[in-house]
Structure 1
Amino acid sequence: MARTRTPVVAGWFTEGAEEREFRLLGTRCTACSVVYFPREDAYCRNPGCAGGGELAEAALSERGHVWSYTDGRYRPPAPYVSDPDAEWEPYTLVAVELEEERMVVLGQAAPGVTVADLAVGMEVEVVPGILDEDAGTTWTTWHWRPVGGAR
């Protein structure tokens, strides 16, 4: 049975793209150039935006620098949904300041990248990732990976 690839949040990243083409997607105000991620599709929230321009989809920087990081070593408590029968796998969270936008975006580190592999200021790149797989669906997302691969 073929699995359906489904993004965890539609419109936040390119879908089905090869790794070299994968990008996070935000929106940019055509009047003041403010960039939003997660995307803003209703109106520009910048109080200094005189024109209240339209919001256009914008591909965000492929690379950035580690702003902060931590590890998730325990199963989240209620009310978060977590299968108590499934084996818990620790993961690494990375806050990355994007190069061009100068905004911080949070995401999981690529599989195999631990806190021991990261340092504040280190250059990382966004790559496609898998959040979960169930009966017929592969839930896709983004991951952060040190430039040059996991160390």
Structure 2
Amino acid sequence: MPRTPKPVVPGWFDPDAGPAEFRLLGTRCRACDAVFFPREDCFCRNPGCAGGELVEVPLSRHGTVWSYTDAHYRPPAPYVSDPDAEWQPYTLVAVELAAERMVVLGQAAPGVTVADLEVGAEVELVPGVLDEDAEHTWRTWHWKPVAAGRRRDV
């Protein structure tokens, strides 16, 4: 029986999107054009704006590395890990999305280490798997370095 894809956090991305269509989903205030991720559905977070009409917007698929580090600790939920298994560090990447003027944190794609990253390097958003059980594949997002010479799309 195939597993049903489920987002780790509903509404942050389309869990059924393929790699070419996969995007984080934010919201934009119609009054001031401020963009938010995680999404905001009730009010504009901009302290200088009284706007309240927010629309869903897909965020850029590419950005530049703003910062990165190895995570040598077991993170809290919703991250899933077996407490009896030996802990394996993973790489966290803070990515600046220029069009949205924001930084989005996420894990690097499997196999990407701090040795593969540098501040200012281009990365792309790719779908990832956080965990699987008998019924579901729990989907998340990862950042992956863009290969040299690849054409950038937003």
| TM more than 0.5 | yes
Which residue in 1 is equivalent to 2:10?
A: 10
**Structure 2 equivalent of residue 116 of structure 1:** 115
Aligned length: 146
2:136 maps to: 137
1:40 corresponding residue in structure 2: 40
- 1:87-133 deviation line (CA, Å, top 9, x unaligned): 42321100000121120000000011000000001010101111111
Q: Name the residue aligned to 2:151.
A: none
What are the equivalent positions in structure 2 for 1:16-95 lying under 5 Å apart? 16-50=16-50, 52-76=51-75, 82-95=81-94
Q: State the TM-score, normalizing by the size of structure 1.
A: 0.89
Contact (CA 8 Å) 1:64, 1:124: kept in 2 or not? Answer: yes
Q: Is the 8 A contact 1:61 1:98 kept in 2?
A: yes
SS of the counterpart of 2:115? helix
CA–CA distance in structure 1, aligned partners of residues 100 and 126 of structure 2? 18
SS in 1 for 2:88: coil
Gap runs ≥5 in structure 1:
none
Name the aligned partner's letter for residue 96 of structure 1.
Answer: V
Distance 1:131 1:29, change over 3 A: same
State the secondary structure of the residue aligned to 1:105: strand
Unaligned runs of 5+ in 2: 149-154
Q: TM-score if structure 2 supplies the norm length?
A: 0.87
CA contact (8 A) 2:7 2:14 kept: no
Q: Distance in 2 between matches of 1:148 and 1:18?
A: 19
Residues 2-30 of structure 1, C-alpha deviations (whole Å, 9 max, x = no match): 21211000110122111111101000000
Q: Is the 8 A contact 1:32 1:53 kept in 2?
A: no
Identity of aligned residues (%): 75
CA RMSD of aligned residues (A): 1.9
- Residues 64 and 123, structure 1, Cα contact 8 Å, conserved in 2: yes
